[in-house]
Every structure is written in C-alpha cells, then in structure tokens.
C-alpha cells in the first residue's frame, strides 16, 4: 500500500514539474517575441473599424497610433496618452497572453473613447476620466462594459465561455 502511494506521489510530482516547465517555456516564448502577425492583424482590423465608427458618429478623421508595450504597469491593460497635442494608445503586451479577445474587443474601444475625449479637448478629472460623456463615446464605439474599469472576472468568464 505504501509503495502505491509513493508511486502515485511520484507520478503526480513528475506531471506537475513537466506542466510547470511547459508553462515557463510558453511564457518565455511569449515575452521574448513580438505579438503574432495574426494578433497584430486583428488589432489593425479593429483599429480600422473604430476609426470608421468615429467618422460615422462624430464626423472626425483620426489617426491615433497604437503601441504595444511590455513596459507599462502590469495592473494596466491599456492607456490613452495625451502629450503636447499628441495622442496615442498603449496596450499592455503581457495582457494579450491572458486574453487576446478581451484586449481587442474590450480594452481597445475603451482606450479609443479616452483618446477621442482628448481629440475633443475634454479632459475630465472625475472618476479617472470615466464620465457619462466618455461612457457614451465608448458605447458608440461598440465598447463592452463601458461603465467601469477592467475586472479580472471578465477575462476569466470570457475564457470559459459563460455569458453573464
């Protein structure tokens, strides 16, 4: 009996170590390489769609660069930056490993709404820039959950396929 327990323990330990090695390898590969061409293309398609929506809804032609960076804080999914009249959107590369769909379908419209507020010269300090006007812009850009900041449950639930 003791021999069987010992064998089961060794088997579970070996499988766990192999799994940890696999996860470490995948993380290293992701961190050491740029986003895949497929993801970049999906970002570009969404970018094009958002620019089209901005033109249709607001009559504005915008060209807001999107940068992918692994150098922004891990707790940020993305941010819109206004610097001396220059506007850009920065997306956290590391968060793409958690959920590409969330970054493209939720975060990008969210940040585009902030960027459009900058274009409109509206710089609210209340609620982290998440005003009613920002919320309406986000919804007009087909943003999802434009009423709040990112919640990690959204990503988890999205991965397992539940609609709530």
**pLDDT digits over 37-92, tens only?**
999 999 999 999 999 999 999 999 999 999 999 999 988 999 999 998 899 999 99
Q: Where are the domains of the chain?
A: 1-33, 35-160
Q: CA separation (Å) from 133 to 42, 82, 113, 117?
A: 27, 18, 9, 8
Q: CA separation (Å) from 7 to 1, 15, 16, 17, 49?
A: 10, 12, 14, 15, 56
Tokens of residue 106, six digits: 């939720």
Q: Are 91 and 114 in contact (CB under 8 A)?
A: no
Q: CA separation (Å) from 71 to 125, 150, 152?
A: 25, 19, 20
What is the pTM (predicted TM-score) of this model? 0.78
3-class SS at 79? strand
Tokens of residue 126, six digits: 């209340």
Tokens of residue 99, six digits: 């959920």
Q: Are 128 and 68 in contact (CB under 8 A)?
A: no
Architecture of domain 35-160: 2-Layer Sandwich (3.30)
Mean pLDDT within 14-23 = 90
Tokens of residue 59, six digits: 């009559």
- Over residues 24-44, the pLDDT tens digits come to 887 787 778 889 999 999 999
Length of the chain: 164
């Amino acid at each position: 009996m003791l021999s069987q327990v010992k064998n089961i323990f060794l088997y579970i330990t070996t499988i766990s170590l192999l799994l940890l090695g696999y996860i470490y390898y995948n993380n290293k590969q992701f961190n050491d390489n740029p986003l895949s061409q497929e993801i970049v293309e999906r970002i570009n398609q969404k970018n094009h769609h958002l620019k089209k929506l901005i033109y249709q809804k607001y009559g504005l032609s915008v060209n807001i660069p999107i940068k992918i960076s692994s150098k922004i804080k891990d707790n940020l999914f993305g941010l819109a930056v206004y610097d001396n009249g220059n506007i850009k959107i920065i997306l956290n590369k590391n968060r793409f490993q958690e959920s590409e769909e969330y970054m493209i379908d939720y975060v990008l419209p969210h940040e585009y709404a902030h960027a459009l507020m900058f274009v409109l010269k509206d710089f609210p300090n209340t609620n982290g820039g998440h005003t009613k006007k920002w919320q309406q812009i986000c919804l007009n850009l087909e943003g999802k959950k434009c009423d709040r900041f990112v919640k990690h449950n959204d990503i988890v639930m999205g991965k397992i396929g539940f609609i709530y």
